[in-house]
């Protein structure tokens, strides 16, 4: 025991305890200070730093663009649509993050998408772009090319590739595709002034694209990527709300026919490309075709069309020299205004304004945005107003001696020799200014102004197209005897084509004024009907009885009067011609030789289903007031579209009728086959015509001339075969035609028939 060493005793000295307490106190103090600092930062800048942290957690976030809605015609034909395309974006920072990524990525972009290798390499090595995460390599990439690249970079069947090939494909990094939608117009120029176009940020610039821009647009979606509490990537997707689709009242088959004949007129009467008509057949040509019983517009076209896919291309209207001359003129104007104290930036801005003016002129829709004096197409409005008030009776008569003295002003009729005695129907048929001035005086200033407003002149119709003009009227205080006289036959005030179309439709449809419209339905993104646009009856300015009187008079005007050239063979048709001498804006006087010629008509005359209004502003011909250009253009259009609309002829086409119209039988047959349905029995079987046979059962062949042409049977003035059972002599109920007396010839001058001095206009 004595040899065992005594165990050394360890002691926790006081000195050690003090050191430990000091260290503990120091640590505690630091922790307290840190907590105080954290509390201070939290109180002062907590929201700021919280947002920073949250923003760092949300990564890989992107916008999902909406698709702008389509525009369709009434039959579902697509007039405007948005196709999804992509920008090819290169993340240089990601590619340069690993040297093994560079070569495979560049090779894939060059071999699959056909991009420039030197350009990509330059972006990856240039000091300004090598760390960029957003470099657009290509725009408007199709979805087909996108899928081709993605299949190459991430092949579905990896078993067919070697290990080295798979490694190369896996090293393709830093390439992504930014989706967006590109607006396309499949029919290019078709109905361009009505459809309009939208820009790259989905803002409508004109037409339906502008008027319904908010309806066509949708709301962008969003995809968020973020790390959850376990540091795992999570995604939240808010789907985009796509725009709605417009189903228009337009019918592209009718629109195509209208535009075809406008082009034909331009080609036949082409002007000097350097003139203010820019190679067209007129300064302005406009045609509206629609349903008078609903206000639906089937077609609306002008000769100011343009390519909707290239809306800023002025080459169809102006030569490069003309554009440069206009820009130089704008520069000189600015230099003169500022006395030379303007910057290059100011000049550039002024020239851009000048270019915009040229484009706006090209995009303008003549049918709704420009007003003019309607001329004699307004006469049915005056007559129906006078009949409705009772100021004019249906059996009233007038004497036209070729002029009227209004106060001390002589105002001539278009027939300066006078039409002689006339009925109300004759006044319309002969387009007699003298009779209309007498009717206007019977109506009086107060009621004339009242009915102009009831027919919505002087106010916009409310058609769903932008930039509608309201025209200019005399008010009650400014209108006196001379103004009333000239206004009664459609001069001295202005209106738009759509105003006249809607007013005339009310005259012939039984007296109901419907608001004209171009959209009939709005569909949601899934194709369901979000809204239906029903016919909107605004007012009934005249009665059905008055409408009937006017329809009869208008039918006489086409059958025997000034509108003969507009007659569609075989159809009962009503209509009114117009020839208005323009006013020179520089002098304020009538512009000798410059006219707006027009025709407005309805078919069938007894129950109108379609109205056409054709206006030709300064046709490029030697004598603008003669020739019936608007009448002929209307007839050609109607010949093709009436069978398509299931409106068929009800009268036999005679040689005499063709002679009155001024066309051949071959020309009369144009369009007859379109939409014609063969006669069928009760079981739906086609009834074959039974050939005429003689007493022996042999088929009687038609008589032919020496050239082999079939000789048509001789007919009377009503189209009945002479000597046949339908002859007039065998039909005691057939009314005799009124005597012509040489008074119903077509106008050979302005319907106004007055001079500057006679108008008394300054």
The band of 758, judged by pLDDT with boundaries at 50, 70 and 90, is: very low
Which H helix or E strand runs over 591? strand 590-603
Length of the chain: 762
- Domain boundaries, given as residue ranges, for the chain: 85-179, 319-363, 369-514+537-677+744-759
Tokens matching residue 97: 């993050």
pLDDT at 367 over 50: yes
Q: What pLDDT is recorded for position 615?
A: 97
pLDDT in tens, 252-282: 999 999 999 999 999 999 887 767 777 889 9
Task: Count how many Cα atoms sit within 13 Å of the Cα of residue 265 in the half-sphere of its side chain.
Answer: 34
Q: Give the pLDDT mean for 345-372.
A: 91
Tell which wins on pLDDT, 543 or 663: 543
The band of 4, judged by pLDDT with boundaries at 50, 70 and 90, is: low
pLDDT at 738 over 50: no
pLDDT in tens, 212-252: 999 999 999 988 776 666 666 677 888 999 999 999 999 99
Return all residues near 251 (Cβ < 8 A) that are at least 6 apart: 73, 74, 75, 298, 299
- Quickly list H helices, 364-480: 366-369, 379-389, 424-429, 433-454
> 3-state class of 158 per DSSP?
helix
DSSP per-residue string spanning 55-124: HHHEEEEEEEPPPPPPEE-TTS-EEEEEEEEEEEEE-HHHHTTSHHHHHHHHHHHHHHH---HHHHHHHH
Q: What pLDDT is recorded for position 384?
A: 97
> 3-state class of 183 per DSSP?
strand
Question: Distance between the two ends of the chain, CA-based, in angstroms?
Answer: 148
> 3-state class of 236 per DSSP?
strand
Tell which wins on pLDDT, 598 or 236: 598
Burial 113-134 (b: 16+ CB within 10 A, else e): bebeeeebeebbeeeeeeeeee
Q: What pLDDT is recorded for position 595?
A: 94
pLDDT in tens, 385-418: 999 999 999 999 999 999 999 988 999 998 889 9
Paired strand residues for 282? 619
**Listed range (225-234, 608-617, 683-692) with the worst mean pLDDT:** 683-692
Q: What pLDDT is recorded for position 672?
A: 62
Hey, what CATH topology would domain 369-514+537-677+744-759 get?
Beta-lactamase (3.40.710)
Q: What percent of the chain has pLDDT over 70?
A: 83
Pairing of strands 233-238, 221-227: antiparallel
Tell which wins on pLDDT, 275 or 440: 440
């Amino acid at each position: 025991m004595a040899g065992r060493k005594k165990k050394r005793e360890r002691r926790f000295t006081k000195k050690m305890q003090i050191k430990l307490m000091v260290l503990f106190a120091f640590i505690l103090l630091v922790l307290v200070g840190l907590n105080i600092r954290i509390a201070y930062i939290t109180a002062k800048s907590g929201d700021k730093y919280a947002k920073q942290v949250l923003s760092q957690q949300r990564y890989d976030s992107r916008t999902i663009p909406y698709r702008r809605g389509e525009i369709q015609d009434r039959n579902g034909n697509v007039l405007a649509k948005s196709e999804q395309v992509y920008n090819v974006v290169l993340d240089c920072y990601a590619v340069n993050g690993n040297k093994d990524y560079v070569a495979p990525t560049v090779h894939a972009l060059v071999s699959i998408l056909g991009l420039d290798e030197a350009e990509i390499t330059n972006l990856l090595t240039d000091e300004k772009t090598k760390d960029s995460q957003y470099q657009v390599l290509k725009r408007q990439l199709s979805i087909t090319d996108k899928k081709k690249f993605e299949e190459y970079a991430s092949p579905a069947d990896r078993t067919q590739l070697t290990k080295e090939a798979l490694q190369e494909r896996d090293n393709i990094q830093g390439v992504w595709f930014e989706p967006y939608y590109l607006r396309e117009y499949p029919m290019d120029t078709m109905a361009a002034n009505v459809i309009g176009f939208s820009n790259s940020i989905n803002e409508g610039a004109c037409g339906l694209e502008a008027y319904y821009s908010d309806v066509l647009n949708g709301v962008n979606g969003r995809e968020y990527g973020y790390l959850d509490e376990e540091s795992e990537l999570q995604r939240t997707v808010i789907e985009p709300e796509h725009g709605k689709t417009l189903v228009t009242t337009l019918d592209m088959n009718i629109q195509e026919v209208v535009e075809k004949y406008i082009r034909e007129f331009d080609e036949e009467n082409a002007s000097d490309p350097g003139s203010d008509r820019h190679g067209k057949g007129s300064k302005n040509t406009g045609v509206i075709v629609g349903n008078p019983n609903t206000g639906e517009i089937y077609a609306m076209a002008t000769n100011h069309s343009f390519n909707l896919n290239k809306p800023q291309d002025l080459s169809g209207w102006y030569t490069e020299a003309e554009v440069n001359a206009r820009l130089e003129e704008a520069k000189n104007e600015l230099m003169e205004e500022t006395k030379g104290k303007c910057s290059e930036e100011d000049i550039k801005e002024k020239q851009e304004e000048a270019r915009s003016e040229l484009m706006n002129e090209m995009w303008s829709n003549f049918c709704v945005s420009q007003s003019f004096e309607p001329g004699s197409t307004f006469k049915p409005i005056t007559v129906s107003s006078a009949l409705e008030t009772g100021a004019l009776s249906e059996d009233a008569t007038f004497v036209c001696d070729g002029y009227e003295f209004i106060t001390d002003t002589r105002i001539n009729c278009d027939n300066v020799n006078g039409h002689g005695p006339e009925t109300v129907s004759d006044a319309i048929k002969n387009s007699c200014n003298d009779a209309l001035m007498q009717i206007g005086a019977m109506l009086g200033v107060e009621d004339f102004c009242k009915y102009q407003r009831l027919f919505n002149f002087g106010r916009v119709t409310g058609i769903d197209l932008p930039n509608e003009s309201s025209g200019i009227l005399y008010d009650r205080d400014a209108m006196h005897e001379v103004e009333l006289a000239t206004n009664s036959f459609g001069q001295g005030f202005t209106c738009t084509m759509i105003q006249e179309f809607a007013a005339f439709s009310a005259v012939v449809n039984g007296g109901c004024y419907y608001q004209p419209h171009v959209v009939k339905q709005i569909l949601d993104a899934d194709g369901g009907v979000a809204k239906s646009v029903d016919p909107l009856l605004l007012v009934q300015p005249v009665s059905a009885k008055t409408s009937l009187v006017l329809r009869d008079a208008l039918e006489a005007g086409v059958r025997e009067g000034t509108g003969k050239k507009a007659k569609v063979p075989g159809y009962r048709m009503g209509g009114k011609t117009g020839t208005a001498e323009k006013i020179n804006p520089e002098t304020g006087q009538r512009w000798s030789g410059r006219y707006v010629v027009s025709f407005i008509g309805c078919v069938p005359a007894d129950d109108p289903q379609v109205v056409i209004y054709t206006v030709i502003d300064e046709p490029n011909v030697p004598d603008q007031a003669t020739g019936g250009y608007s009448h002929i253009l209307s007839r050609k259009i109607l010949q093709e579209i009436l069978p398509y609309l299931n409106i068929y002829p009800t009268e036999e086409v005679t040689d005499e009728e063709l002679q009155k119209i001024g066309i051949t039988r071959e020309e009369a047959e144009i369009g007859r086959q379109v939409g014609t349905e063969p006669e069928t029995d009760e079981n739906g079987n086609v009834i074959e015509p039974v050939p005429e046979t003689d007493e022996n059962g042999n088929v009687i062949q038609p008589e032919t001339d020496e050239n082999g042409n079939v000789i048509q049977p001789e007919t009377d003035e009503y189209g009945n075969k002479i000597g046949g059972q339908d002859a007039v002599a065998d039909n005691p109920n057939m009314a005799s035609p009124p005597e012509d007396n040489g008074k119903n010839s077509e106008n050979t001058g302005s319907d106004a028939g007055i001079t500057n001095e006679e108008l008394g206009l300054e």
